[in-house]
Amino acid sequence: MDTPIPALYNDCAYTLVSTEQISRTVDRLAAEIQATYENSGRRLVMVVILKGSMPFAADLMKRLTLPIELEFMKVSSYGAGTKSSGEIKVSLDLNRDDLQDIDLLVVEDIIDSGRTLSRLTQLLKNRNAHSVRTCTFLDKPSRREVDFVPDFCGATIPDEFVIGYGLDYNEKYRNLPFVGVLKREIYEKK
Ligand code: IMP
Ligand code: MG
């Protein structure tokens, strides 16, 4: 007997990163991060960028055997049409004044134009953290508008709009357990 496919899954044209691939990717990233920080002698703070990075950050932190601390930030990038300088709006900020002794690891779901992470890392470096590195689950390098290279990257993907594993379209699809390409008719029908 076939299990019916949930309606939510039907909006997906095809799977880009399966649940198994996600798991293997997060294993590899955790090993890279562990090796980078394990002898640092400093405190490591994971800065989780809400909302999209939540499932990825949760999976990643459970694979690290380092002592880590968790913080959250919520940022959005003004559209390129609004401000060509690519300003970001911080609606939830870090609230600590001990950054000089700390390694910050910013955890992001996906990099597109590069504006969000480029600005955010600049902002955190200006607050004198000992180090600021970035870890993204996905990267679309062909969409870059500003130079930005993450320190840790799960997978580079083509220029497609993707959903699932935290990624949304109008706040929907974040709970899909895989990353899929959203059917064009869903966002082109309006
Ligand atoms: P950037 O500042 O253009 O790099 O913006 C990155 C942000 O855009 C991500 O944190 C996502 O919120 C959003 N984004 C970019 N591409 C996608 C996608 O394919 N699916 C869902 N969200 C995306
Ligand atoms: Mg995001």
- H helices present in the chain, as ranges: 7-10, 19-37, 54-63, 115-126, 184-188
| pTM, two decimal places | 0.94
| CA of 33 relative to ligand 1 center, distance in Å | 23
Given a contact cutoff of 8 angstroms between Cβ atoms, the answer to whether 13 and 182 are in contact is yes
- Its sign, for the CA torsion 177, 183, 187, 190, is negative
| CA of 86 relative to ligand 2 center, distance in Å | 15
Report the atom number in ligand 1 closest to the C-alpha of 86.
2
- Its sign, for the CA torsion 89, 93, 97, 100, is negative
Which residue from 157, 167, 171 has its CB within 8 A of the most atoms of ligand 1, so it is best to mutate? 167
| CA of 145 relative to ligand 1 center, distance in Å | 13
**Amino acid letter, residue 79:** G
pLDDT tens for each residue of the chain, 190 residues long: 677 778 889 999 999 999 999 999 999 999 999 999 999 999 999 999 999 999 999 999 999 999 999 999 999 876 544 444 568 899 999 988 899 999 999 999 999 999 999 999 999 999 999 999 999 999 999 999 999 999 999 999 999 999 999 999 999 999 999 999 999 999 886 6
